[in-house]
Amino acid sequence: MPKKAAKPKVSKEERAVLEGLSSPKAADRWMSQRAKIVLLSAEGQSDAEISRTLRVDANTVATWRKRFIAGGSACLADLPRSGRPPTYDERTREAVLALLKTPPPEGMTAWDGKRIAFKLKISACAVWRILRGEGIRLNRRRRS
């Protein structure tokens, strides 16, 4: 006889949170799918039924059901991923923006990316990346 999967116990508060996460207007589609898995599982549907309904693998259903049982709706979020940590942080961004507010070096009319990078001892590519993210274009020429 096949082993029956554990049915998650969902409180009223958790149900409200899960229903909000599973709405069609939810920003994160993966979180929405996970919330639907838990809600359907709480209603008593089997992993196979849920996997057919949501068109996901049965192992995925089992994984998210078990995670919810272990830690509630907080465990439905993504775990940190591996990878290299960012080289430049928020302080670097603030330093670049603060430097733009100061007068440029003598002999220049405005700051450019290379001068900012040299002054802050960071990569010019990083400077341009920060400026692009802020919507700042130093080289834009304006016609009068």
Grouped pLDDT means (10 residues each) for the chain, 144 residues: 72 86 78 90 90 92 91 84 86 94 89 93 93 84 57
For residue 93, which of 136, 60, 36, 59 has the smallest C-alpha distance? Answer: 136
DSSP characters for 73-93?
GGGGSPPPPPSPPPSS-HHHH
pLDDT of residue 10: 84
Q: Is residue 4 in some structural domain?
A: no
Q: Is residue 7 in some structural domain?
A: no
Look at the pTM and tell me if it is higher than 0.75: no
Q: Is residue 55 in some structural domain?
A: yes
pLDDT of residue 143: 61
The number of folded domains in the chain is 2
- 40 and 96: one domain? no
Q: Is residue 143 in some structural domain?
A: no
pLDDT of residue 98: 95
Q: Is residue 66 in some structural domain?
A: yes
Tell me which residue range forms the domain holding 108. 90-134
Q: Does residue 44 sit in helix, strand or coil?
A: coil
- The CB density around residue 117, as the number of other CB atoms within 10 Å, is 17
- 95 and 48: one domain? no
Predicted confidence (pLDDT) per residue in 55-69, tens digit:
999 999 999 999 989
Distance CA 44, CA 109 (A): 70
Q: Is residue 38 in some structural domain?
A: yes
Q: Is residue 83 in some structural domain?
A: no
- 67 and 110: one domain? no
pLDDT of residue 12: 87
- 71 and 126: one domain? no
Out of 27, 45, 76, a domain closes at 76
